[in-house]
Amino acid sequence: MSSNQALLIIDYTNDFVADKGALTCGKPGQIIEPKILELAEKMRQNGDWVWLPTDVHKPNDPYHPETKLFPTHNVQGTWGRQLYGELKPWFENHNDNEQVKLFDKTRYSAFAGTDLDLRLRERNIDTLHLVGVCTDICVLHTAIDAYNLNYKLVIHEQGVASFNQAGHEWALSHFKNSLGADVR
């Protein structure tokens, strides 16, 4: 079965969502977990692609711009980099499915420095469903790159969150009014 759509679950890790995460959204990030799991399972069962672009860093990397902006987070091999909550066992249970894939990203956008666009085009994917954190950072930058690459966008409002409520609300408006996304 072939599908022309993919779900991107962006940066849903302990460091961004758990109470003790290094750069956490906290409660807003935690309450979106059921929606993310529901979409992941529904799309997987429909034969859609479910990909997890996941932030990864080295501590105190002098060449990475985020080092000056944020505390150390999502370090490879740490608890903070692990998928949050029930998404971790969901992914482990479906990791052998070729349509479920976690991949590293080192910038806000899931497209920057990755082969995401190539992989999507190989599979004739033209529609991206976005969920995860943070609405106004990594989800936003991924959406902007997807828009510029001519993908159709669906943003699941109950599947995105940020540690900045004003930024979250601004990004939802931007998705709809400037990127033409279907915000549901």
> In the 8-state DSSP scheme, what is residue 75?
B
Q: CB–CB of 32/159 below 8 Å?
A: yes
Q: Where are the beta strands (DSSP E) in the chain?
A: 5-10, 49-55, 100-105, 127-133, 152-161, 182-183
The residue type at 172? L
Give me 90's structure tokens.
Answer: 């969901």
- Preceding amide of 134 cis, omega within 30: yes
The pLDDT of residue 1 is above 70:
no
Q: For the segment 136-154, what is each residue's pLDDT rounded down to a tens digit?
A: 999 999 999 999 999 999 9
CB 10 within 8 A of CB 133: yes
pLDDT in tens, 166-176: 999 999 999 99
Q: Encode pLDDT of 33-75 as tens digits.
A: 999 999 999 999 999 999 999 999 988 888 878 878 888 899 9
State the pairing for strand pair 100-105/49-55.
Answer: parallel
Confidence at residue 141, expressed as pLDDT on a 0 to 100 scale: 98
* Segments making up each domain of the chain, as ranges: 5-183
Nearest to 131 by CA among 57, 70, 42: 42
Mean pLDDT of the chain: 96
> Is pLDDT larger for residue 1 or for residue 44?
44
CATH dotted code for 5-183: 3.40.50.850
Burial of 72 (0-12, 13-18, 19+ CB in 10 A): middle
pLDDT of residue 59: 87
For residue 2, what pLDDT is reported?
56
Burial of 44 (0-12, 13-18, 19+ CB in 10 A): middle
pTM, entire model: 0.96
Distance between CA atoms of 112 and 114, rounded to whole angstroms? 6
Measured distance CA(170)–CA(167) in Å, rounded? 5
Q: What is the pLDDT of residues 67-105, one digit of tens each?
A: 788 888 999 999 999 999 999 999 999 999 999 999 999
